[in-house]
Amino acid sequence: MLKHFITNNHRFKPADPEYQQVYLINGMLLGMIVIFTFFFFVNLAFFSLYSVALLDFIAAALAATLLRRFQLSNNVRQGANHTVLLLGGFLIGYLCFAAPHFYALYWLCIFPPLAFFLLGRGRGLIATAVFMGLLTLLLVWRSASWPAASFSVESLLNVALASICLVILVHYYEVSRFEVLRALATQHRQLQRLSVTDTLTGLFNRSKLDEILSQEIARSIRHQSPFSVILADLDFFKAVNDNFGHMAGDQVLIAFAGIMQQHCRELDVAGRWGGEEFLVVCPHTDLAGAKLLAERIRIAVETHDFVHGKQLTVSLGIASFIRDDNANTMLKRADDALYRAKAKGRNRVEM
């Protein structure tokens, strides 16, 4: 029940970047309802503080209204603004009605952390500065009517210095947290990129190609649109490794990956299938369109000057999606076409 409440009917998940804000907004508003309602009855029944009790009642009603609105709208930015505004307004009103009693100052320390946590570093600092400015004006305005034995200069200075220190600490914490989160986000993006990338060529790896193939098959079935695949294999690549070493072989693979990236269209997806085999997924492309692309790649390889000074060629097999196809059957036809290209003398395209 509580998890259902704090996640706004499970609309926010723990992995969402706004989850902690949602958790804090709901917790603060619910806490305000409970605390303000409690003090409404206490101030009314035991202390006869009618003005403070009225303030507690209004604050509890506003907190309940804002909580209901936030649960329905799921607008995190608006909910954060409303929560901070309600707390700031209540604290200023509380100091106005409860002063010159010293306990009225105790509650002021909760505003800066909440403002920073909900609004972030920049807006939190602005909100805290405005809040402290309004408190200063209130204290200056009301101090003339307070008894001499109310707030002493020493107590006010201590509260002011403690508040400044609290703001600095919370701001430092938010800056540190932001830097850590940014570093973690950067590392996460790098790990995601590495998990789908072939480290040698920079193209997608086989795992990512499998995922893209599944997506394209589902899209083709849903929209009845064609797509094709091109399976490419460098001819006599083993001889490069045997005669010139694996470093030269790696340079050949990198150069071939560059040729594929250069000649593929923006919608095509090229990747390393394994060893010297590469796969190109061609969305919205029939056999004729895939053959044109394969021929461009074949000619570019044939005329490219590789680092070891020898010319290389590539054989390519093409298959287009047909009804009841899956990734295995489609790739099997492309592999059969590639085998025929090898059998017919290499450096050619077969469909």
Query: Mean pLDDT highest for which of 79-88, 144-153, 156-165, 274-283?
Result: 79-88
pLDDT of residue 80: 92
Structural domain boundaries of the chain? 2-193, 206-350
CB atoms within 10 A of CB 132: 17
CA 217 to CA 215: how far, in whole Å?
Answer: 6
pLDDT of residue 163: 72
Enumerate the active-site residues.
Answer: 276
CA 172 to CA 177: how far, in whole Å?
Answer: 8
Q: Regarding beta strands 314-320 and 349-350, do their DSSP bridges make them parallel or antiparallel, or are they unpaired? A: parallel
CA nearest neighbour of 283 among 260, 265, 264, 267: 267
pLDDT of residue 41: 92
**100 phi and psi angles, rounded to 5 deg:** -95, 25
Q: Which residues pair with 317 in a beta bridge?
A: 231, 350
Structure confidence by residue, pLDDT tens digits, 190-220? 777 766 778 888 888 888 888 888 888 888 8
CATH of domain 206-350: 3.30.70.270
pLDDT at 149 over 60: no
Confidence band of 257 (pLDDT split at 50, 70, 90):
confident
Structure confidence by residue, pLDDT tens digits, 235-253? 888 888 778 878 888 888 8
pLDDT at 267 over 70: yes
User: Within the chain, where are the H helices?
Assistant: 2-6, 19-45, 50-73, 76-98, 111-143, 153-195, 206-223, 237-244, 246-263, 287-302, 327-343
What is the arithmetic mean of pLDDT over 109-127? 87
pLDDT of residue 10: 65
Confidence band of 174 (pLDDT split at 50, 70, 90):
confident
Q: Which residues pair with 320 in a beta bridge?
A: 228
pLDDT at 83 over 60: yes
Structure confidence by residue, pLDDT tens digits, 24-76? 898 889 999 999 999 899 988 888 888 888 989 999 999 999 999 998 888 99
Q: Tell me if 36 sits within 8 A of 60, measured CB to CB.
A: yes
Q: What is the mean pLDDT of the chain?
A: 83
pLDDT of residue 147: 58
* 348: Cα within 13 Å, side-chain hemisphere: 11
What percent of the chain has a predicted confidence (pLDDT) above 70? 88
More confident residue, 151 or 47: 47
Place of tokens 């508003």: 29
What's the predicted TM-score (pTM) here? 0.55
